[in-house]
């Protein structure tokens, strides 16, 4: 038996699929961070489980840098790439000078100081661009920690933009996207604050 659906029902189905994709992507970002922490422990004896507190946010900022490393001119091993990415992650998310100094020491032992500085600079530029984008959307964050906490939004900005292609009420779309992100179980920010930020981002693209 064939079932027919009207255009509005089709749009709803497609929208739910897109937002489900966002939820899946949050889990992917968290998984990326989890794998990074596991590799750092296994290869370098670094216990950085605290990074999992910001799992998806770490992934949002560091995963693009992983792509930068793997598509660039760097001649380094997977283990060295892990060390560099962990170094960048700790520079932004880990408030422990002793741990960071230990990572820097290992980076120096591997002769990767210059490479680390280049990748860290790339990360700082990404963070700066994200901050500028949020400011242009009239999003005010009270601290640098707030900024890095919302870094999980970096890879899905385009998906958020696409959510308003068919029009609709911004508040409703923002709430729907937020529920999908929170439903992933790996986003640690409050639902009300996240809805407000996404609404402002949507308004910027409207």
By mean pLDDT, which of 87-91, 130-134, 140-144 is the weakest? 140-144
With a cut of 80, say whether residue 11 has pLDDT above it: no
* Domain that residue 105 falls in: 7-205
Q: Band of the pLDDT at 10, cuts 50, 70, 90? A: very low
With a cut of 60, say whether residue 29 has pLDDT above it: yes
Phi-psi region of 47 (alpha: psi -120 to 50; beta: other; left: phi over 0): beta
Mean of the per-residue pLDDT values for the chain?
84
Any domain includes 2: no
What is the Cα–Cα distance from 162 to 27, expressed in whole angstroms? 20
Any domain includes 123: yes
User: Which residues, in sequence order, are CB contacts of 174 under 8 Å at separation 6+?
Assistant: 195, 196, 198, 199, 202
Q: Band of the pLDDT at 20, cuts 50, 70, 90? A: low
With a cut of 80, say whether residue 155 has pLDDT above it: yes
Any domain includes 198: yes
Any domain includes 128: yes
CA angle 154, 158, 160 (to 5 degrees): 90
With a cut of 70, say whether residue 167 has pLDDT above it: no
What pLDDT is stored for residue 56 in this prediction? 92
Any domain includes 177: yes
Any domain includes 169: yes
DSSP per-residue codes, 114-166: HHHHHHHHHHHHHHHHHHHHHHHTT---SSHHHHHHGGGGGGGHHHHHHTTTT
Any domain includes 1: no
What is the Cα–Cα distance from 64 to 69, expressed in whole angstroms? 9
How many domains, in total, are found in the chain? 1
What pLDDT is stored for residue 7 in this prediction? 44
What is the Cα–Cα distance from 186 to 195, expressed in whole angstroms? 16
């Amino acid at each position: 038996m064939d079932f027919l659906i009207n255009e509005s029902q089709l749009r709803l189905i497609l929208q739910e699929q897109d937002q489900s994709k966002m939820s899946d992507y949050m889990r992917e970002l968290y998984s990326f961070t989890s794998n990074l922490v596991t590799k750092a422990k296994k290869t370098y004896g670094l216990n950085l489980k605290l990074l999992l507190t910001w799992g998806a946010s770490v992934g949002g900022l560091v995963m693009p840098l992983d792509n930068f490393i793997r598509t660039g001119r760097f001649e380094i091993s997977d283990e060295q790439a892990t060390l560099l990415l962990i170094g960048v992650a700790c520079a932004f998310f880990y408030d422990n000078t002793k741990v960071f100094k230990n990572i820097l020491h290992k980076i120096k032992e591997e002769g990767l100081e210059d490479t680390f500085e280049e990748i860290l600079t790339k990360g700082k530029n990404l963070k700066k661009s994200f901050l500028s984008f949020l400011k242009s959307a009239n999003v005010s964050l009270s601290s640098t920690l707030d900024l890095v906490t919302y870094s999980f939004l970096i890879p899905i900005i385009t998906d958020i933009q696409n959510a308003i292609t068919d029009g609709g009420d911004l508040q409703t779309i923002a709430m729907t996207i937020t529920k999908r992100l929170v439903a992933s179980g790996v986003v640690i920010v409050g639902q009300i604050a996240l809805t407000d930020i996404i609404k402002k981002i949507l308004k910027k693209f409207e």
